[in-house]
């Protein structure tokens, strides 16, 4: 017996039938004697529907009102699951993020969790109830409803598991675990039995949608026992843990891709000490996250600086630069959309020279132009044209020996 935290994604609770199936899974764990805390995403594509409704009114809705709107999606799913458990004879209670004691930064649409007061959850567990918490949301010290950004329900689950000192945290999704590539793109992708926190964090940051990056950071920091599983089968999932036993010869663990990439080039920046600091501090002060950075000088006094941002941040980044042009002192701004970042990740890359060279060779053979490159000890990323994404991912997956004969199954499509 123990305390289990489970998170179910939108696909897992996309219909009433699926909600009832989730209820049966929870009941099976409850019958084994476990205390259960459940975190839910909004049903199916309901968040997208809410976003589309807002954009019918205005293309640039207030972030505060968007948080107010989007937080309702999870409230629907938690209430329905609680009703399902009641109907099946089990006591349950649904709680919003703020009722569950989740306090966040005072930032709308992408807040970080500051602290969790688990008093209410523990009290409800002591009454024998299944506690169902709305993921993706919390409340600021000023009493404002906030959301954690897309995928934030994973972060809600892991941080709650850490706060409650849960025996394990299970993330249920539409695939059976963590794969060597997105099985929607690479049907020959292989499910990993185990993966390290560091590898998983790189994959998540580089576009693998199975886990939110901040949830992996929290799992590593608080040593949460994390498992990724499918809500559609009873198959064993993937364990995310510290320094797992690596497979012999597994240099590359996976191929990830992020199709939401835009490139900005600031042309004619003064080539002086402090130029980079002013540029990127200005962007950071306006909540613009920058990824790959390349600096190129064409004379002694002037330099060009290129960097990537998420496609959704492009307009905000361009507006921020335009408003600060006089202070930054650049000549003009160029930008490019329609890009993808393709990456290989593996802890075994540290001691194996030539891994990056192989990636460049494979992409060159497929006539794929590499626009930018970024490396670390366990990953290599290339920015390429978005229309060549599938070709690049499949070619790299094959080249590094990751293909298997069995076709990966994605449920709930």
Annotated binding site for substrate: 47, 74
Binding site for ATP: which residues? 7-10, 173-174, 179, 184
d(Cα 113, Cα 171) in Å, to the nearest integer? Answer: 19
Tokens of 214: 């901040």
3-state secondary structure labels for all residues of 265-320: EEEEEECCCCHHHHHHHHHHHCCCCCCCEEEEECCCCEEEEEEEEEHHHHHHHHHH
d(Cα 80, Cα 76) in Å, to the nearest integer? Answer: 6
Q: Which of 261, 172, 267, 169 is nearest to 210 (CA)?
A: 172
Distance of CA 153 to the CA centre of its chain: 10
d(Cα 103, Cα 320) in Å, to the nearest integer? Answer: 29
d(Cα 398, Cα 129) in Å, to the nearest integer? Answer: 48
Tell me how many helices (H) and strands (E) the chain has.
12, 18
CA angle 132, 138, 143 (to 5 degrees): 130
Asked if 271 and 224 count as a contact pair (C-beta separation under 8 A), the reply is no
Asked if 245 and 348 count as a contact pair (C-beta separation under 8 A), the reply is no
Distance of CA 189 to the CA centre of its chain: 19
Other C-beta atoms closer than 10 Å to the C-beta of 327 total: 10
Binding site: which residues? 7-10, 47, 74, 173-174, 179, 184
Q: Which of 22, 17, 159, 145 is nearest to 73 (CA)?
A: 145
Asked if 41 and 149 count as a contact pair (C-beta separation under 8 A), the reply is no
Based on its alpha-carbon atoms, the radius of gyration of the chain, rounded to whole angstroms, reads 22
């Amino acid at each position: 017996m123990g305390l289990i935290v489970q998170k179910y994604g939108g696909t897992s609770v996309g219909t009433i039938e699926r909600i009832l199936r989730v209820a049966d899974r929870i009941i099976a764990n409850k019958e084994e004697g476990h205390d259960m805390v459940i975190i839910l995403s909004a049903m199916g594509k309901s968040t997208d529907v809410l976003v589309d409704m807002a954009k019918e009114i205005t293309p640039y809705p207030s972030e505060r009102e968007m948080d107010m709107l989007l937080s309702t999606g999870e409230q629907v799913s938690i209430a329905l699951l609680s009703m399902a458990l009641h109907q099946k004879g089990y006591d349950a209670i649904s709680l919003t993020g703020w009722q569950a004691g989740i306090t966040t930064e005072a930032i709308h649409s992408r807040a970080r969790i500051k602290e969790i007061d688990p008093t209410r959850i523990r009290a409800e567990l002591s009454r024998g109830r299944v506690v169902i918490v709305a993921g993706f949301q919390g409340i600021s010290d000023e009493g404002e409803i906030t959301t954690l950004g897309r995928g934030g329900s994973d972060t809600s689950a892991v941080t709650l598991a850490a706060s409650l000192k849960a025996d394990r945290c299970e993330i249920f999704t539409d695939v059976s675990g963590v794969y060597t590539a997105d099985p929607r793109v690479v049907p020959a992708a292989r499910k990993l039995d185990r993966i390290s926190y560091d590898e998983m964090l790189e994959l998540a940051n580089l576009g693998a949608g199975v886990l939110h990056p901040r949830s992996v950071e929290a799992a590593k920091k608080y040593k949460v026992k994390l498992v990724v599983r499918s809500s559609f089968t009873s198959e064993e999932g993937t364990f995310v843990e510290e320094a797992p036993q690596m497979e012999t010869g597994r240099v590359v663990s996976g191929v990830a891709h992020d199709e939401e990439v835009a490139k900005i080039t600031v042309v004619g920046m003064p080539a002086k000490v402090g130029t980079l600091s002013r540029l990127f501090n200005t962007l950071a002060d306006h909540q613009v996250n920058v990824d790959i950075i390349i600096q190129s000088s064409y004379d002694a006094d002037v330099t060009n600086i290129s960097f990537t941002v998420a496609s959704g941040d492009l307009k905000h980044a361009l507006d921020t630069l335009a408003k600060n042009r006089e202070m930054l002192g650049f000549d003009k701004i160029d930008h490019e959309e329609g890009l993808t970042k393709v990456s290989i990740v593996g802890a075994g890359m540290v001691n194996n020279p030539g891994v990056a060279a192989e990636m460049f060779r494979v992409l060159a053979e497929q006539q794929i132009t590499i626009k930018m490159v970024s490396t670390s000890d366990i990953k290599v990323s290339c920015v390429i044209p978005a229309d060549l994404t599938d070709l690049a991912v499949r070619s790299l997956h094959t080249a590094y020996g990751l293909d298997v004969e069995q076709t990966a199954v994605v449920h709930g499509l």
